[in-house]
Copies of this chain bind each other. A is one copy, B any other.
Amino acid sequence: MYRQLANSGYRNHVAAMAPRVASLAESGQLDALVALERIGTQLSFSRNEEIYTEGDSTECWYKIISGTVRICKLLADGRRHITEFCFSGDGFGFDGARERVFSAEAVGDVIVMRFSRKATEQMIDQNPALARMLRETMLHDLTNVYNRLLLLGRMTATERVATFLIELFERCDRKKTIVVPMSRNDIADYVCLTIETVCRVLSTFKRDGIIAIPNAHSVELRDSEALEELAEA
């Protein structure tokens, strides 16, 4: 049984849940909806602040204006798991259960819009096209999670980190140099490795000239072919 403790900085809050409706918002289609219901409230959170925790009611959902949010769960023995990172433009917190099963925390400083779930639901009820769109988005997200299952179940440390980097680069329109907003610990808890292993793999990539690491929070892609090769699957 592994002992990896959730990293020191975090409060001992328990878990809370938030399946992702990211691509929904990403697609820009939801913006129509958002425009319709003018009931959003803007909120800001600072680094490591909790947006919600397990047990909180699920009566609202959020859309990120700027910053990065991590959706995570703390296990009884202190192990932490990050189910996903949400970036600017993503939506999150559109949950199934009545209570949060995961928690949402600000990775750095974050600004979000908060919307009433009930109002949104009513709006969707009155608009079958919107409902269908939402359904498709959710199915799409479901497929993504199934791919993550594959990642966690079958992939080696190298493949996991390579895949993670590629995800990041794709999010940033394949820019050569990107800012990595989250800590090594966050990355580790996301791909289910220890922080040491993440570091070692990154160092290997650097040594092999696949990436450069100007500073701990930015990565420059040097050889994308090699990286894709390593991520394979």
Contacts and interface: CB of A to CB of B under 8 A. Distances in A.
Contacts of A77: 232
A96 B143 contact: yes
B19 A146 contact: yes
Interface in A146-161: 146, 148-150, 152-154, 156, 159
A190 B75 CA distance: 22
Contact of A79 (B76, B128, B154): B154
A119 to B, nearest CB: 14
In this complex, the interface size class of chain A, counting residues with CB under 8 Å from chain B, is: 35 or more
A17 B138 contact: no
A84 B76 CA distance: 26
Contacts of A131: 124-125, 128, 131, 135
Interface in A75-91: 75-77, 79, 81, 83
Interface string A134-148: 111011111101101
How many copies altogether? 2
A101 B83 CA distance: 22
Contacts of A81: 149-150, 153-154
Given A2-B156, A131-B128, A152-B152, A143 B75 contact: no
20 contacts: A1-B159, A2-B154, A73-B146, A75-B154, A75-B233, A77-B232, A79-B154, A81-B153, A95-B139, A96-B138, A101-B146, A121-B132, A124-B135, A125-B128, A134-B135, A138-B139, A138-B142, A141-B142, A142-B142, A145-B149
Interface of A: 1-2, 17, 19-20, 73, 75-77, 79, 81, 83, 94-97, 101-102, 121, 124-126, 128, 131-132, 134-136, 138-143, 145-146, 148-150, 152-154, 156, 159, 192, 232-233
